[in-house]
Amino acid sequence: MRSVVRRGKRWLYLGHRWLGIAGCLLFAMWFISGVVMMYVAFPHLDKEERWAALPDLAWQRVVLPPDHAMQAAGMTHYPRELRLVMLNDEPVYRLLDWSNRRHTISAVDGRAIDEIGADQALGIARHHPAAAVPQLIETVDRDQWSVTSRYDPFRPLYLIGLGDAAGTELYVGSRGGEIVLDTTRGERVWNWLGAIPHWIYFTVLRQDGPLWRQVVLWVSGVLMIVAVSGIWIGLLRAGLRRRYASGRVTPYRGWMAWHHITGLIGGVVVLTWMFSGWLSLNPGGTFARRGESHDMLQRYAGHDAPTIAGRLPANAMPGVVEARFVWIGGTPLMLLAHRDGRQTLADPEDGTPRRLPEEAIVAAAATLIPSANMVLQQRLHHYDAYWYQHHRQRVLPVLRIGFDDAARTWLHIDPATGELVGRSDTSARSYRWLFNALHSFDFPVLLAHRPAWDVVVIVLSLAGLVISVSGVVIGWRRLVR
């Protein structure tokens, strides 16, 4: 037995040593890039940015009503999404069907718009508030910023530089002519120190989604073993009961002592960060990620036929850049997006303001899961542990509707517009604590007292960096010998 224990310890030390030589470089990279990501996110285009880049809707030019647009697109059911926006100087309908196919239909003559040219893309870019001297840089199929599959329905993409001081670049889809992404010079520079190394998000790897996922899973999985073995060795070598000479808790000197002591103090944090990051890839489908199904949304709408309005308001609405047509509880509505980021409800035929009573929203929400009873109804005026604003914008007040189904589903609804803005269940709420809390330190007490969150995360990241850098130095010296 002693021989087995000795041999096990030997392999424990050797495994930690040699896996750690490469692993500590990755650990150091993750701690540095993680701090950068606290303040610079990976480029994306949110709806407020998209609205700001659109011209006012030219209602007087709209000839085709929404019902005819759905017919022109061949819809047999009410689509998942139906929006009226401007394509340069032409009003168009943008439709998304239940097979995730996108259609763009002219609101002037009903023709399908499948592709646009470079000149049209430049015309679209000129409406952007940052546009100074827009120029076409190139046509790209996939690059570092548009690498994920979410942009596939729009490819190839026109990359247009706006010529502003921030170095803003727009990606305009050649299919349908929609602005799908924007980046600035600062985002592009900082992300090479942030999200790209942190997520191992290099185009050559990330363009193959399944391969990228497996690489990250295995790399982070192996490094979890490094962290576990380091904590184990650190405890074995620590003089917690019987001190070493001069009352020291470590037998090491120099970089080895730094590695040992900081590893004892911060090793558990390093391990929880590794474990939670590994969980973010949902290994084995552990966390069910449920979206709203067609049946669920159809019940909430109370309507399924491809109809909503046979005519549209003719009066101008200054500042309105998008009209989204929706049904809620059998009531047809037009959700107007304003350039300043507001949303208001209106009648889809005459444009008069509408207000949806909260009771009507709750009644429609009660039909979302017909096999379950609605057991929770809250109106949140303040953020809580499950509805909070940190890495994303979230509306307040918000309605929380809960059901007694097996998944204990919660729906969050904007009471001002009736929009479904979030769904969670026991799986999602577990993920919130196992990933958002452990990896991003999204604890309510820290978020409520910024910059307490910043200080805690940066200090722990620096401790992890010391562990990593000391490991790199020790590993380098070992290799040199």
Beta carbons within 8 Å of 142's beta carbon, 6+ residues apart: 151, 155, 203, 207
Look at residue 273 and tell me if it is in a domain: yes
Domain hosting 12: range is 1-40+202-287+451-480
pLDDT band at 401 (very low <50, low <70, confident <90, very high): very high
Average pLDDT over every residue of 355-366 = 94
pLDDT tens by residue, 100-122: 999 999 999 999 999 999 999 99
CB atoms within 10 A of CB 326: 22
> Which class for 472: exposed (0-12), middle (13-18), buried (19 or more C-beta within 10 A)?
buried
**Residue 228, pLDDT above cutoff 80:** yes
pLDDT band at 187 (very low <50, low <70, confident <90, very high): very high
Closest C-alpha among 317, 320, 290, 304 to residue 83: 320
pLDDT band at 472 (very low <50, low <70, confident <90, very high): confident
Percentage of the chain lying above the pLDDT 90 cut: 70
Dist. CA 283–CA 408, nearest whole Å? 22
Q: Which two tokens stand for residue 405?
A: 């189904």
Look at residue 1 and tell me if it is in a domain: yes
Average pLDDT over every residue of 449-460 = 92
Q: Which two tokens stand for residue 56?
A: 């006012």
Ranges 58-62, 264-268, 386-390: which has the least confidence: 264-268
- Cis peptide bond N-terminal to 134, omega within 30: no
Determine the pLDDT at residue 33: 96
Ranges 18-27, 187-196, 441-450: which has the least confidence: 18-27
Q: Which two tokens stand for residue 324?
A: 């989204």
Q: Which two tokens stand for residue 62?
A: 């709209």
Determine the pLDDT at residue 478: 83
How far from chain centre, in Å, is Cα 359? 31
Contact 409, 393 (CB under 8 A): no
pLDDT band at 190 (very low <50, low <70, confident <90, very high): very high
**Residue 246, pLDDT above cutoff 80:** no
Q: Which two tokens stand for residue 290?
A: 């449920």
DSSP state of 353: B
pLDDT tens by residue, 287-309: 766 677 888 999 999 999 999 99
Contact 57, 317 (CB under 8 A): yes
pLDDT tens by residue, 70-110: 999 999 999 999 999 999 999 999 999 999 999 999 999 99
pLDDT tens by residue, 265-292: 888 888 999 999 998 888 877 776 667 7
Q: For the chain, count helices (H), then strands (E).
A: 15, 14
Q: For the chain, what is the mean pLDDT? A: 91
- CA distances to 32, 270, 431 from 281, rounded to whole Å, are 21, 18, 11
**Residue 451, pLDDT above cutoff 80:** yes
Give CA angle at 90 (86, 95), nearest 5°.
Answer: 55
Determine the pLDDT at residue 237: 80
Count of positions (residues) in the chain? 481
Q: Is 426 helix (H, G, I), strand (E, B) or coil?
A: helix
Closest C-alpha among 122, 114, 80, 117 to residue 97: 80
Q: Which two tokens stand for residue 161?
A: 């530089």
Determine the pLDDT at residue 1: 82
Determine the pLDDT at residue 81: 95
SS3 for 178-223, per residue?
CEEEEECHHHHHHHCCCHHHHHCCCHHHHCCHHHHHHHHHHHHHHH
Contact 298, 304 (CB under 8 A): yes
Look at residue 30 and tell me if it is in a domain: yes
The helix (H) or strand (E) run that includes residue 72 is helix 66-72
Beta carbons within 8 Å of 313's beta carbon, 6+ residues apart: 59, 346, 347, 349, 350, 351
Look at residue 469 and tell me if it is in a domain: yes
Determine the pLDDT at residue 7: 81
Closest C-alpha among 233, 198, 193 to residue 219: 198
DSSP state of 82: E
Look at residue 10 and tell me if it is in a domain: yes
Dist. CA 168–CA 285, nearest whole Å? 38
Dist. CA 317–CA 300, nearest whole Å? 28
Helix ranges (DSSP H) in 280-340: 294-301
Percentage of the chain lying above the pLDDT 70 cut: 99
* Helices 254-279 and 2-37, packing angle to 10 deg: 70
pLDDT band at 324 (very low <50, low <70, confident <90, very high): very high
How many CA atoms lie within 13 Å of 293's alpha carbon, on the beta-carbon side? 6
Ranges 19-33, 233-247, 427-441, 454-468: which has the least confidence: 233-247
pLDDT tens by residue, 197-226: 999 999 999 999 999 999 999 999 999 888
Look at residue 212 and tell me if it is in a domain: yes
- CA distances to 50, 52, 126, 437 from 129, rounded to whole Å, are 11, 7, 8, 37
The helix (H) or strand (E) run that includes residue 400 is strand 398-403
Q: Which two tokens stand for residue 125?
A: 């870019």
Look at residue 457 and tell me if it is in a domain: yes
Q: Which two tokens stand for residue 258?
A: 């730094």
**Residue 53, pLDDT above cutoff 80:** yes
Dist. CA 52–CA 168, nearest whole Å? 14
Contact 447, 388 (CB under 8 A): yes
- CA distances to 51, 124, 168, 189, 321 from 340, rounded to whole Å, are 8, 19, 20, 28, 10
Query: In terms of DSSP bridges, do strands 169-173 and 157-161 run parallel, antiparallel, or are they unpaired?
Result: antiparallel
Determine the pLDDT at residue 203: 94
Determine the pLDDT at residue 137: 96
| Domain total of the chain | 1
Determine the pLDDT at residue 320: 94
* Helices 209-237 and 2-37, packing angle to 10 deg: 120
Torsion, CA 366, CA 367, CA 368, CA 372, rounded to 10: 70
Look at residue 301 and tell me if it is in a domain: no
